[in-house]
Each structure stands twice: as structure tokens, then as C-alpha cells.
Structure 1
Amino acid sequence: MRGRDLINNGLPDELILEILQRLDSKPSRDACSLVCKRWLHLERFSRTTLRIGASFSPDTFVTLLSRRFPHATSIHVDERLSVSLPSPPPLKRKRGSNKSSSSSSSPSSRKRQKVSNKTRSGGENAESCSLTDAGLIALADGFPRIENLSLIWCPNVSSFGLRCLAQKCTSLRSLDLQGCFVGDQGLAAVGEFCKQLEELNLRFCEGLTDVGVIELVIGCAKSLKSIGVAASAKVTDLSLEAVGSHCKLLEVLFLDSECIHDKGVVAVVKGCRRLKSLKLQCVNVTDAAFSVVGEFCVSLERLALYSFQQFTDMGMMFIGKGCKNLKDLTLSDCYFVNCTGLEAIARGCKELTRIEINGCHNIGTRGLEAVGKSCPRLTELALLYCQRIGNSALYQIGKGCKSLETLHLVDCAGIGDSAMCSIAKGCRNLKKLHIRRCYEIGNKGVIAIGKNCKSLTELSLRFCDKVGDVALVAVGKGCSFLQQLNVSGCHQIGDVGISAIAKGCPQLTHLDISVLQNIGDMSLSELGEGCPMLKDLVLSHCHNVTDNGLNHLVNRCKLLETCHMVYCPGITSAGVATVVSSCSHIKKVLIEKCKVSERTIRRAGSIISYLCLIIWRHKFGWDLKMCKSKCCKNIVIQNLYHICSQLLIFVQKTLSLTTLNHQILYALATSLLSFVSGTRALERSQKGDEEGSLDRNDMATKPLQTVFPTAPSTRGLCL
């Protein structure tokens, strides 16, 4: 009967709530909330997870969200992510209205116009885009039963706000304070009131010292299971000694600090016998600490070591002898570990399922052959920048590791087609293959993959110059379950190869064909016919693609969400408008600003990201300017300081670089940091901040003085 919904009326609220709680994806929940007012009302009680990005007023958002979703228990605030709020449509003027009538609009319309203008400004005031103590207090008042809280890169949150939160949210189990400038008092309050805290992340919390960490450890000793500390110069071995003495249930430990030595690591290892995951980036930790790890950490399952300068094969032998349950091993930039150490791990840790070797230049073929012989349960292998590993190593992997499902190869000059043929014939369950800049791998190896690995879902062949259309034809015929393909930089691939993929891989959702000069409109037309599930498309630097091919694609690929097409001279503003108007699910379009018409901006301005060109001039005669688009404003300013700081630390650690390279890296990082500092200072001066342009958010000068007390001179340096 028209006007009546018998099914909806017959369902009780409890059953609808049960259905809504079983929906995993946010789009599905959003769609259900639009069914009717009743479902909209019930959906607010089923939503348990909220994510907030950088917006014009996160404090206000927190208050509004607490009213809309009172049962939320997990809240994630990440100010590295920009959120583009849709602006309200322009108000239609009545016939006969004039300027005087429009000026005397209602207060509500003026308020909407004010908010709209503020949103479209792209975040001119950086402070208003950051969560403050007021927002944290509102969060505590609105979500007293919160269990998981992430405050990532929220620089305006202080100890006062954290203390207010801890007093009211006593059920907190997970707390992430990455990049927050909180002090010891706030952390001590968490230890005093949040007795159920299990997970704590303190990465890049520069305001903390041993005092605050020790207070928290003592307060949460009976519940704490995971701790992460990174780039906190005032957190030393004293904190780790407290962890070892009190946190008997600790299972996960992540440390990235130059202030940690053997003493602190040994204290944790001896006191926390349940340790399962250990991730360390501590240049002052030596083999002596790992001798204790091998003796006491019998339950260790995951070990990740980064940039160790005093870790050798002796430490690897201790681990292989004692950590029999090890399943996941990561070695990154451990220059003093060679094949002997990897052999010891392979012989002792036969339960290994994942191995990643990144930049360990002394590990060669012999070490990886031992893995193939002794680790039959290996499912994932990643080899990055391993120049000494040859084809025979992967031959042994293919022979002994039949369960291998994921293989990553980056800049491995010694690996070629014969190695890939061995993997293809031996590892027929391979699902993910990612290869980048392995110039000896060509058509023969990829053809073998296409013929033997029928379950392949992800294939990436970035900048493999010897791979051509013949290889993709084999993949299209044999890998019908392929979902993601990246062939950017493979210059021999043209329309024939992409057309074969389009005909043989109907489940394709992600495709990157950037920097392919032989790709034209025929490929896009075939993709439109054969890949209706395509969601992400990257075709930047494809000079032969035009609006015509793009039109054929979007007419069939209605699920398209992202499209990158910069430096495509054949694509005009008409093509951009076609993408925006034809794809109802489109979320992001990356294009040059000159190719976006005013009409397209009005229609879909929130989903368009413009190409950002940075022109640099500091000490070398360049001009450093930033585009005023929302993309730059929200992303570059928030992340540039962290990137430059890491670059400075890298320069300090890599003392083996030549003097010229050392000066170049230092000059680049110094210029970027100066730019960030100047930009922030300009914003504060425009706002009228009386506290000065450099405070806890603008610490560009301090790292330069501490990391490089005697910085090399860049005078006369030419690039």
C-alpha cells in the first residue's frame, strides 16, 4: 500500500540497532542513516568510532559530535589529515529582490554565510584548525566512556587538558599522543586516574621527561601492555628501568631514541618476560643487550631493528639461539650484519613467516639461501636496496618457501628473470608482487608469473624498463583475479598491454599507468569496457591521452573515486568537467589549476586538488613560495617541519657522506625549516599574537642548534 512501509514498521528498534552494529564500513552506515528519520535516529546510537581531521574548528566539532553520537568509544583526531567541508549552496534570491533586501537577511543565513566563507578560506588561521584544551575538555564531558583516544599532531593540547580528560575518562585503554606537546603533569594524571590503560604511544612528545613517564608507569603498572617512545630527548634509561620493575604484563615495546643504552633495554627485557614485539631504533644499543634478549625473551614473536651501528652478527646469533618463536623479522640499515648473522636466525627461528631486509648492504646471497632452506613457513619477503643478493637466493626461496604470498623487491640489481621464474614455479600461491627499479627483470620473468601465479591480486612493476606489452598480455590471460596494477615508468608498455589487462582482469580496482608515453585513448576505452569496478586511476604524464579517451572511461567506470591526470596536455577543462560530472563517487581529482573552469569549481571544488609547484630560493638564489590551495595549506605546513627534522637527523647520523653531500643536505633542510618558521610567524603576526612568532609550535631554531652545534658552512656552495 502506498505511503506505508510494512517491513520498516514491523522491525523493532533492537533489531535495527543489531543490524547497524554489524556494518563495517562508514559509507554503509551513512547510507543506512539516510533511509528514514527513524534509521537516522537509531544510527547515532550504533556509531562507536569517530575520526576527525584538520578542520576550521575541531573544538566545536567535538561538542557537536558528542551530542550526535553519545555511544562512541573510539575517537581519532589526526591533524595531519585535511578535511574539506562542503560549502552550503548559494541562497536563491526571490524575484524582485535588491541589494537592500539581501543585506537585511536573517541572522541564520548570515551565520551560514560566515561559516561558508571561513571554510572556503582554506584555513587561513592555522590556530583555529587545531584542537585545544577546550576541545579536550568538551571531549571528556561528551564521551566519558571513551576507551580509545588518538591525538596525533595536536600541538595546542597541553597538560591541563590532558589532566581534565584523565579525571573524567577513567575507562581509557588506549592513548596515542603522537606529536603532542604535553608535559609530565598531564602524563602523571593519566597514570593516576586511568588504571585500565593498556596501550600508550609517546612518539615525538618533546615535552616529556623521565618524571612523567615514571609516574605513569607506576600508576598503570598492572594494566600496561604496549609502550612507544620516539624522539623524546629527555626520556632515558631511568624510564625503562621503571618499566622493567613495574610493568610485568608488557608485550609490545617501541623505542626510537639516542638516549637509550644497553642498561635500559636490559632492564625491560629482564623484567617483562611476556614481551612479544620489540622495535628498536637506538644507535647506542650493542650486542650485549641482545645477548639478554636471546636469554629472556623466549616469547618474542616480532623483532624490528633500525639504523643500528653497534649491532653485529654476534647479536643475531644470540637471537637465533634463544628466540625460537620469532615470526617477524625486520632489519633496516644494519650495516654490520652479514650473511653469517642471517644464517643463524634462519637455523634457529624456523617459525619465521615474514622477513624484511632494507639497506643491509653486507647481507648477500648466502644468507637468503639459508632462509629458503630453513624457513618453510615464510609467507612474506621484502628485499629493499640489497645489491648483493643474486638469482640463486630466490631460486632457493622458490624451492623451499612454497607458502610465499607476498614479495617486495626494490633496487635489487642482482635479481633478474631467472629468479622470477623460480619464484613463479615454486610459489604458486603468490598474491602480491611489488617490484621497483629492478632493471634486470623483463618480459620473461613476468610472463612466468602470469602463467603460474593464478591467485595474483596485486602487481607493481614500477620503472622496470625491460617489461613490455608481451608481459602484460600473459598477466591478462593468467591472472583474472588481479585487483591492483602499477606499471608507472615502464616505457615499453603501450595500448596492447593495457588492453589485454582490461579484457582479462575484470576485478581491477586500482591502476597506475603514469609516465607511459605509448598509452593513448584506446587503452582508456578498453578499460571502460572491461574494468567497471575501477576506483583509482593514475595517468599523469601520459601525453597521448585526450578528453575523448577519458570520456569513454568515465561513461562505464561509475565507481571511480580518485583520478590523477597532471601533465597530460591532451586533457583540457572539458575532460576534467566530464570526470566530475559523470562519476558520482569521485572523491579526489588531481589536476593543474589552469584546467579547472569556474563552473567545475562551483560544482566540485572540495574534491579537486591542484598541482603544487614549490620554487625554492634561500641561500642559493631561489624563491621559496607555497601555493595557497587547501592541499598545500593543510598538508605541507603541518608535515614539513617533521620531514626536515628527520632529514637533519639523517645527515647527522650518516657521517660517511662526502663533505659536499653533507653540506647539500644540511642546506636543503635548513632552508625548508626556515620557510616553515617564517610562514608560521607570518600567520601569527597577522593574527596579532603577542607571545611571539616562535613558541612550542615553531621550534625550527632549536633543532638546528642542538643537532648541528657547529653546522658546516654553505657559503659558496653551488648546486
Structure 2
Amino acid sequence: MEDFTYFLPISSRMDVYCQPSKRVRTNFRIPFDRNDFEEEGKNPSIDDLPDECLFEIFKRLQSGKSRSSCACVSKRWLMLLSSIRRDNEDRGDQELENNGYLTRHLEGKKATDIRLAAIAIGSINHGGLGKLSVKGMNSICRVTNVGLTSIAYGCSTLRALSLWNIASISDEGLLEIAKECHLLEKFDICQCPLISNRALIAIAEGCSNLTVLSIESCPNIGNEGLQAIGRSCPKLESISIKDCSLIGDCGVSSLISSACSSLHKVKLQALNITDFSLAVIGHYGKVLTHLTLCSLKNVSEKGFWVMGNAQALKLLISLTITSCQGVTDVSLGAIGNGCKSLKQMCFRKCSFISDDGLQAFSKATRTLEVLQLDDCNRITISGIIGSLTNHESNLKSLVLVKCSGIKDTTLQSPLLSCGSSLRWLSIRNCTGFGAASLALVGRLCPQLQHLDLVGLYSLTDAVLLPLLESCEGLVKVNLSGCLNLTDESIHTLARLHGATLQLVNLDGCRKITDQSLVAIADNLLVLNELDVSNCAVSDCGLIALSLARHTNLLILSLAGCCGITSRSLPSLERLGKTLVGLNLKGCNSISSSSIEVLVENLWRCDILL
């Protein structure tokens, strides 16, 4: 192995670490003492060179294929190759050849510096890395600044970077990203406690193409970082900030006022901001289309009132407000007056709004298409009917969740035309919503396509049947948790809407038996998803379902159906010709041997056991 020395760089390539005093001869030899290697029981190898020499060799590799081949030799070579910073010319060539086609996602134990280095080296010849997501677990995550530096040096085409739950990375890794990845457009960090304003300022100054920024639970990021983003990122379109204790009015207001010409989406949650920030949003949010405000404890009624009356939110189409005690009837009316283009409105856990505020809002905003009320306990059926009346011609979706203030009443609502636009009705866990309430809302439903009645224990056949008869063509029906419904309702549903129904969910309807499955098999022509989990169905009903002439089922859930036994194996195999998903959890009457046969025969179907 004396010829081993020919692997080393010759001539001018040797002047990296020591300048030769005269021209190097081509027959130059580096003497090796063969006895040294023989004593250790090994032959001389290129891997015996120190890192400095290997680094200089690898730096001169011209093709990405050569670098990838060398990276496969060992982890040591991989990490050395990934630590080589590409010069400007090389990075320019990479951006011309690669458009960032590749997307990579690392999670948990798979998130390591070694894998990031491999991604950095391997993506060069395959379109370039465009999106990278790393979701670690702080206790075992092995991603450090070394891994991020590898990505920075090898992936100048990176356009989206997401880092979640990683306690071992700090500003240094992101500083390298900012220096090398100037095409970055989307930056998302969550639960990264060592990242500070220093990194965010570097990202702002180095990545002026940034359009989407999301920061969550990063305790060392404050106002200075947001101010830098506002100054240096003129293309910013979306900002989401959650649970960052150092961020206050100074940072939020500065960012929004600086990016007012491009900012379309804003989400602020659990921040120490006051009425001042909402006033700035109301004044500068001229191009805002989506606004989400959550858990803003220091914002009062005045802040929401000023935001609405500032009259700048004329392009706003979606507004979500959650757990904000400053939302009252007065501020709600002001929001309605200032947001004339609003189409989607969602209130969650807003305990100070009542029917008066809802009706004032509805009268002011006549373009509303989607209304969702979640855990708003001062809203009654009177407010719901009033809101629906004001939006009869344009409201398409009404969602009510855990609104305990809605009780059955003898209220007589004004008659509404049969041309009501409502397509989606969802009433979930509103325990007071009974026969009278449903009858009132049912007058709005001749064109209803999606019916979602979940957890309504008082719902009976007598209450549901009139609603089913008033609708023209239901497409999706979810009645899960409606314990008092029987086969009569399902018979009527199948008979009236069999030609259009695509989804039926009866999970937990304990009085539903095989008769319902027979009705479904005979009438539902285009059904592709059926859930009869925890119902009183048995093998007989499943046999009838499998013998249906028009079987297009894609997803079938039988979880918790103890009446399904191994006798249903042939029926499940027939249904399996079209199934892509089958849920058999809790079907304890099916033997393990039958399950094995089923898994083997339905290899195309995802079976949950």
C-alpha cells in the first residue's frame, strides 16, 4: 500500500495549510512507516488522515454525485461534507439547477443531526430541499445547531422551515440559516426556549422574502424581533404569535403598522397586549382578510369597540374571537358596523355577549355566510332565530356547540321563505335544544345538505322526522350520541334521501338495530361512509348490507358492536372489495383466526383492531 499517497492532492492543491517554497515535483512521496500500521494490525487508509486534510479534499469535489458517494462512506465523512460552506458561485448554480422540490419531515427520535446532514447532502442532486419540518421531543431530541448549519450550507433553496419542541437549538443555528437561505418564505418555531431576538432579527435581515411567520411558546423572543420583521420583511402576509410573554403592544403594533400594505392574516393568542394593539389593527388593517384573537386578558370592551369603529377592516372576511372578556354587546355592534364584508364569524367562550349583541351584529353585517357559537351561554333561541332571519338569503352554515342558554321555548318566529340558503346545520352538545327549538330552526332547512346533530339526548323520532321530511336532499348526516333515536328515523332517512346520502354516522345510537342496516342496503345508492359503532347491529344486518345491489362503501366502522361475530367474515370480505378503511375495535366476538384471514384477504384496506 505504498501507493496510498497518490490519493492525496498534488501540486497546487497542497498549499492550503502550508505554502510550498518551490514547485512540487510530480513524483513527490510521503513516507509511511509500514511497521507502524503492521503493529496496529491494519493497512494504511485514507480515513487515517486528520479532519483538516479530509476537509480540504472534500472541498474540491465538484459534483453533487461525488459528494453523495463520499457521504455514504461513514458518519465522519458525512458530517465533514455537510460542514463545508458552499461559495456564492456554487450556491447560485444550485439555485438554477434545483427549484426546491423536496419536502422532508423529521419527528421524535428520527430528528438527529446525522439525518439533517444526510438531507443536506442528498437533496442537491434531486431537485433541492424546499420544505423542512423538524418536530422533536425535548427530552430525547438530538437536533443541535450542527444539524441546522448543515441545512444552511447545503440547502440554499430552502423556502419553508418549521422547528417544533426542540430545546437544544439556539440562535447560532438560525444565524447560519439567515446567512445562507435567502429564499426562505415560511418560518415556524414552537417551544424553542433558546431562540431569542438575535435569531429573529437575523432572519428578518437575511430573508426579506418572508411571507409567513409563526411563533409559539418562545419565552426569549420579544418586541425587538417583531420590530425587525416589520422593518425588513415587506412581503409579510401572515403572522401568528402565541404565548410569548415578552411580546407586548410595542412589538405587535410596530409589526402591524409596518406591514400594513401586505398583511392579510393575523392571529394573536395569549399575549400581554392591551387595547392599544387592537386600535392599531383597526386603524392599519386595511388589507386584513382573516383575524383571530384568543385569550387576550388585558383587552377590554374599549379595545374591541375602537377596532370596529376605526373603519379600516372593510376587507375582513373571517373573524374568530375566543376567551376574550372584552367582547360585549356594545363592542360586538361596533365590530359589525366596521366589518361590512365579513363572511365567517366564530365566537368561542365569550360569556358577555347576549341576544342583543348578536342581533345588532347580524343587522349590521349582511354578508355573513358562516356563524359559529361555541360555549356562549347567554345566547338563547331568540337570538339564533333573529340572526337567521337577518341572514336568510346568504347564511349557509350555522354551528352551535355547548350553548347551554338555548332552551325549548314556545317562541313564534316570523315565517321565513322556502328560499333560505342554509346548507349546513350543526348542533353539538346543546343539551337544552329540544323539540320546539329544532322545529323553529327546521323552518330554515329546505335546502339543507349537511345535518349534524351530536349528543342531543332528548332528540326522538317524533322530533327528527318533520325535519327530515322538510329537507330536499341530504348528503351528510351525523346523529352520533342521539341515544333515543330508533330504526324509524333511519327508515325515513333512507327512504327520503337514499339517492343523495354519502355519509351516515350513527355512533352510539344504541336503539339502532339490523333493520336500519337493511333499510340502508335497500335505499342508499351512493353511500360511501357508514358508522354504526356501538349500535345493536349483528351478523344479520351486515349480511344484508353486503348483499346490497349498489355497494360503494369506502369506510365502514363497526367499533364496539358485540353482535358482529366470525360469521360475518364472508360479508366483510364482500364489502372489502371497495373498502379502504374498516374499524373493528372492540368487536370481541370475532375470533383472532378470522381477523388474520381478514387482514390477509383485505390487504388494500386499512383495518383498525
TM category, shorter? 0.7 to 0.9
User: In structure 2, what residue type is equivalent to 1:608?
Assistant: I
Q: CA deviation at 1:480?
A: 4.3
User: In structure 2, what residue type is equivalent to 1:485?
Assistant: V
Residue deviations 1:346-374, cap 9 Å, x none? 12222211111100111111110111110
Partner of 1:358: 348
User: In structure 2, what residue type is equivalent to 1:136?
Assistant: I
Partner of 1:192: 179
CA separation in 1, counterparts of 2:525 and 2:142?
Answer: 45
Alpha carbons 1:281, 1:306 under 8 Å: kept: yes
User: In structure 2, what residue type is equivalent to 1:209?
Assistant: S
User: In structure 2, what residue type is equivalent to 1:562?
Assistant: I
Within 5 A, what are the aligned runs for 1:190-269? 190-221=177-208, 223-259=209-245, 260-269=247-256
Within 5 A, what are the aligned runs for 1:529-548? 529-542=522-535, 544-548=536-540
More helix by share: 1
Which residue, 324, 327, 351 being the options, matches 2:313?
324
Tell me: CA distance 1:185–1:130, structure 2 relative to 1, closer, same or farther (3 Å).
closer
CA separation in 1, counterparts of 2:286 and 2:201?
Answer: 26
SS in 1 for 2:491: helix
Alpha carbons 1:354, 1:378 under 8 Å: kept: yes
Which residue, 255, 270, 287 being the options, matches 1:282?
270
Task: Please say if 1:586 is aligned against 2:565.
Answer: no
Tell me: CA distance 1:262–1:560, structure 2 relative to 1, closer, same or farther (3 Å).
same
Tell me: CA distance 1:301–1:531, structure 2 relative to 1, closer, same or farther (3 Å).
same
Partner of 1:389: 379
Q: CA deviation at 1:316?
A: 0.4
Structure 1 range deviating more: 515-524 or 273-282: 273-282
Which residue, 159, 164, 176 being the options, matches 1:173?
159
Alpha carbons 1:462, 1:488 under 8 Å: kept: yes
Which residue, 491, 495, 513 being the options, matches 1:499?
491
Task: Please say if 1:527 is aligned against 2:514.
Answer: no
Within 5 A, what are the aligned runs for 1:11-22? none
Partner of 2:368: 378
Task: Please say if 1:601 is aligned against 2:601.
Answer: no
Alpha carbons 2:562, 2:587 under 8 Å: kept: no
Q: CA deviation at 1:588?
A: 3.6
CA separation in 1, counterparts of 2:476 and 2:405?
Answer: 26
Q: CA deviation at 1:417?
A: 6.0
Alpha carbons 1:512, 1:537 under 8 Å: kept: yes
CA separation in 1, counterparts of 2:504 and 2:106?
Answer: 28
CA separation in 1, counterparts of 2:595 and 2:360?
Answer: 59
Tell me: CA distance 1:180–1:128, structure 2 relative to 1, closer, same or farther (3 Å).
closer
Task: Please say if 1:163 is aligned against 2:149.
Answer: yes
Alpha carbons 1:476, 1:502 under 8 Å: kept: no
Q: CA deviation at 1:183?
A: 3.7
Partner of 1:311: 299
Gaps of 5+ in 2: 1-97
Q: TM-score, normalised by structure 1?
A: 0.63
User: In structure 2, what residue type is equivalent to 1:586?
Assistant: V
Tell me: CA distance 1:300–1:495, structure 2 relative to 1, closer, same or farther (3 Å).
same
SS in 2 for 1:409: strand
Alpha carbons 2:420, 2:445 under 8 Å: kept: yes
Q: CA deviation at 1:175?
A: 3.0
Q: Which has the larger radius of gyration?
A: 2
Residue deviations 1:604-629, cap 9 Å, x none? 2773323xxxxxxxxxxxxxxxxxxx
Tell me: CA distance 1:423–1:525, structure 2 relative to 1, closer, same or farther (3 Å).
farther
Residue deviations 1:302-343, cap 9 Å, x none? 221111111111110121022332221111111232211111
Partner of 1:141: 124
CA separation in 2, counterparts of 1:188 and 1:569?
Answer: 59
Partner of 2:36: none
Q: TM-score, normalised by structure 2?
A: 0.74
User: In structure 1, what residue type is equivalent to 2:267?
Assistant: K
Higher relative contact order at CA 8 Å, sep ≥6: structure 1 or structure 2?
1
Which residue, 384, 390, 403 being the options, matches 1:400?
390
Within 5 A, what are the aligned runs for 1:51-200? 73=101, 75=103, 77=105, 79=107, 132-134=115-117, 136-137=119-120, 140-141=123-124, 143-152=126-135, 155-179=141-165, 182-200=169-187
Which residue, 432, 445, 449 being the options, matches 1:457?
449
Partner of 2:358: 368
CA separation in 1, counterparts of 2:323 and 2:184?
Answer: 34
Q: CA deviation at 1:72?
A: 8.2
What is the number of equivalent residue pairs in this alignment?
Answer: 495
CA separation in 2, counterparts of 1:212 and 1:128?
Answer: 21
CA separation in 1, counterparts of 2:353 and 2:566?
Answer: 52
CA separation in 2, counterparts of 1:391 and 1:202?
Answer: 43
